[in-house]
Structure 1
């Protein structure tokens, strides 16, 4: 199989379109770089050349301007008792950027609009954003921790960016961190606070 088809100047765009189609048909877990390459009619090495890994490919397919790994750097090195605030700060700082905000709103609307798209967005966020934080800081955490962090993210996006609920919509990043960071920390420490049977 040739790396690039003759007469196909937008190979990267075709790979992204193939990734969207694979995600729609097979979901996040069922989509592989090899399957995307096959659908796009290119060599898998070309997919790796453009995107390096699955996270970057899915980020492009979901039209996000930045991959979660680029946002999470400060969170992964934060002190354990400050992870919740670092998590909220990293997310809101990124989401407040105009280009990111537009993409997050679009992804949220499509994710909440259809079951199939919602499953893709949910799995992507759980595995590529929340799982990184939980694995680094709470590898022993029960599944409820990831689920509650996802619920917190969805609620924050919906209230601040989709519904523009005041005063949350116009709060500064620092104000949002002060208000929501402790809740994120509580979720991370859930089983340590309430205990588990």
Structure 2
């Protein structure tokens, strides 16, 4: 009888998905987002890497599952950047605020931010994810030599807005209407991106 392992989803094996998530938590915690690989996660979970892809798709999907990222900037930012250029800043702000206005996203997002800010283990993977999947995607769309700085300024502004409104609940920003914040912060994002 052959002991060679077949690629893909093993028949009758239960608990694989949960083992993959636990293995990913350890890999991301030990090696950061950039250092963790699907192959290493699969090996730690005792499964084939094809099974990891079967359950989660790309590494960004698995990372989002592990830390409960409520937004998927890696999927949404390219669409936001493709609309009319003079409205990009406002679309970015509206995307984030409208998402965080949903209670499930707000709860998970605030928890994720608090954990990342207070954890030496989870902060590097989150920073790696945001650097590659958010800032990196914005950078590749901008055609300027300082694109990385511009994208990082956008991330800092949005992160500050989220922390001020949803974590610290600083008034009057915490209760300001979304439309007002979009109108006031959007031009700053627009300037960071294009001026």
Q: TM-score, normalised by structure 1?
A: 0.86
Contact 2:138 2:151 in 1 (8 A): no
Tell me which of 105, 119, 122 is aligned to 2:110. Answer: 105
Task: Tell me the C-alpha RMSD between the 2 structures.
Answer: 2.1
Structure 2 distance, partners of 1:66, 1:154, is: 13
Structure ID, larger Rg: 2
- DSSP-derived class of the 1:115 partner: coil
Determine if the alignment matches structure 1 residue 184 to structure 2 residue 189. yes
- DSSP-derived class of the 1:9 partner: coil
Contact 2:70 2:109 in 1 (8 A): no
Tell me which of 51, 70, 81 is aligned to 1:46. Answer: 51
Structure 2 distance, partners of 1:95, 1:135, is: 26
1:140 aligned partner: 144
- DSSP-derived class of the 2:170 partner: coil
Deviation at residue 126 of structure 1 after TM alignment: 2.1
Trace 1:53-132 onto structure 2 (pairs within 5 A). 53-72=58-77, 74-132=79-137
Unpaired runs of 5+ in structure 2?
none
Unpaired runs of 5+ in structure 1?
none
Map Cα deviations across residues 29-57 of structure 1 (whole Å, 9 max, x no partner): 10111111111111111000011111111
Structure 1 distance, partners of 2:133, 2:178, is: 23
Bigger shift: residues 41-50 or 94-103? 94-103
Q: TM-score, normalised by structure 2?
A: 0.86
